[in-house]
């Protein structure tokens, strides 16, 4: 089974997530400041923070915890686990972006669309957080140990 370095996978996923939530976060913030959402600005902010903070928090916490751990650099994880984590992350972030961008054309705008489709996004968020939790928190074997097992 092909494996990848956990540290490399974490860096890629963290970059994807931090970029994927920072850009729409900035867009929603600027729109809110400009009065685009009117009285619904706080509702939009609560929705967005709820949509990204569990997963974003998991990633940031794992990176902070790993910052002092030198062993994290030589751990390996299944390439399949990494690809699944990457795939569900891209799917979730695309769904989030689509919801935000489509909201301009939807009746009731983003607040109503978030209410109507929030259950779907929440379900997908649960899957994403579960998969990323396995990838970011799961203990893997050091690379040297893996090589000894194959011998």
Contact assessment for residue 76 and residue 141, using Cβ atoms and an 8 Å cutoff: yes
pLDDT digits (tens, 9 = 90+) for 98-151: 999 888 888 888 888 888 888 888 899 999 988 998 877 765 555 544 443 333
Name the maximum alpha-carbon separation found in the chain.
Answer: 65
pLDDT digits (tens, 9 = 90+) for 124-137: 999 998 899 887 77
Provide the CA 146 distance to its chain's centre, in angstroms.
28
pLDDT digits (tens, 9 = 90+) for 47-76: 999 999 999 998 988 888 877 765 555 688
Contact assessment for residue 44 and residue 37, using Cβ atoms and an 8 Å cutoff: yes
Each domain of the chain, given as residue ranges in start order, spans 3-150
Q: How far is the first Cα of the chain from the last one, in angstroms, to the nearest whole number? A: 14
Q: Which residues share a beta bridge with 5?
A: 76
pTM of the complete model:
0.83
């Amino acid at each position: 089974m092909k494996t990848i370095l956990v540290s490399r996978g974490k860096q890629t996923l963290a970059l994807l997530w931090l970029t994927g939530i920072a850009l729409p976060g900035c867009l929603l913030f600027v729109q809110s400041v400009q009065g685009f959402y009117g009285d619904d600005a706080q509702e939009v902010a609560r929705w967005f923070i709820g949509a990204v903070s569990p997963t974003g928090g998991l990633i940031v916490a794992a990176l902070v915890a790993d910052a002092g751990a030198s062993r994290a650099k030589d751990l390996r994880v299944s390439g399949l686990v990494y690809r699944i984590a990457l795939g569900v992350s891209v799917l979730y972030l695309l769904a989030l972006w689509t919801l935000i961008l489509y909201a301009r054309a939807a009746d009731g705008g983003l607040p109503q669309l978030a209410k109507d489709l929030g259950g779907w996004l929440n379900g997908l968020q649960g899957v994403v957080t579960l998969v990323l939790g396995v990838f970011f928190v799961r203990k893997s074997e050091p690379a040297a140990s893996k090589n000894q097992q194959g011998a």
